[in-house]
Amino acid sequence: MSEVVAVPNGEDFVRQAEPLRRELLVHCYRMLGSIDDAEDVVQETFVLGWRAYGRFEGRSSLRTWLYQIATNACLRALERGGRRALPSGLGAPSRVPHPLEVGGPDVTWLQPLPTDPADVVTAREHVRLAFVAALQHLPARQRAVLLLRDVLRLRAAEVAAMLGTSVVAVNSALRRARAHLEQVGPDADALYEPGDPGVRALLDRYVTAFQDANLGALEQVLRDDVALEMPPYATWFVGRVAVVGLLRARVLDRPGRVRLVPTIANGQPAFGAYLAGDDDGYRAHALHVLAVTPTGISSIHVFMSPHLFRAFSLPPVRR
């Protein structure tokens, strides 16, 4: 029989820790690039925190203590697996809609994060797909230092204590991380907020064009340099001609084949895309995450993983 571990003030731990669950999840997502892995690590963090709460001496806030546990759990997880990527991080784009190449078995893909405009812990610039993808290029400890210092705004001494290192090492890692992120980070294009009236009008046009398979109307909402990425395919495309050509060939062959349901991912407009089945129903197919600028849609990330619909509270089938 396994031994039952007594945990002093376990109820008190749950009462104080539970309100922090969402922000810990977002932090772990930034570290790991995966909502699935982040949920597992947050669960591990709560179990470890619950067991150790009797030894918590209050030298830091409970919030900082839980971030320490979560960050180190993320670092252990990253030792077991590699970085998550988007197709644009693996190779050059194509400008012609030629056959698609699936990523190899050694590739693990970045996943989108469900977000909400009212969620104050998901500052939009720090959950954008481009930002999270750029973080994946950093060594794990540099990634942790950058997030703890520049996103969470913790002091260097706090971060050093959390990671078991020195302030000098933290400051050095932060300088290297900032320099590298400057090279691979997202561009400075201004993005519209998802609730902006201009965005809503443009997104309505995008939905109508997709559902009607109206390629001419779709072209009008895309920028000339629009990019399309579709994990698990490693092939990705740049340019309106290539993007529309690929969609024509693979998806938009007839009106009514696709139905789009709005949601928000990574602080950006997103849609659950359902494909018509043989039984008059529509089945979960892919999540579209859009970057919308004042000059049109600049990127479309299509995550072809129907299991992600659960995290976005989207049903697997719609009638």
pLDDT of residue 278: 80
pLDDT digits (tens, 9 = 90+) for 58-80: 777 999 999 999 999 999 999 98
Q: At which residue do the structure tokens 């409970």 appear? A: 62
Stretches where the chain sits below pLDDT 70 are 1-9, 118, 120-123, 185-195
Q: Quickly name the fold that domain 83-128+186-319 has.
A: Nuclear Transport Factor 2; Chain: A, (3.10.450)
pLDDT of residue 4: 41
pLDDT of residue 188: 53
CATH number of 1-81: 1.10.1740.10
Q: How many CA atoms lie within 13 A of 168 on its CB side?
A: 0
pLDDT of residue 100: 87
The domain spans of the chain are 1-81, 83-128+186-319
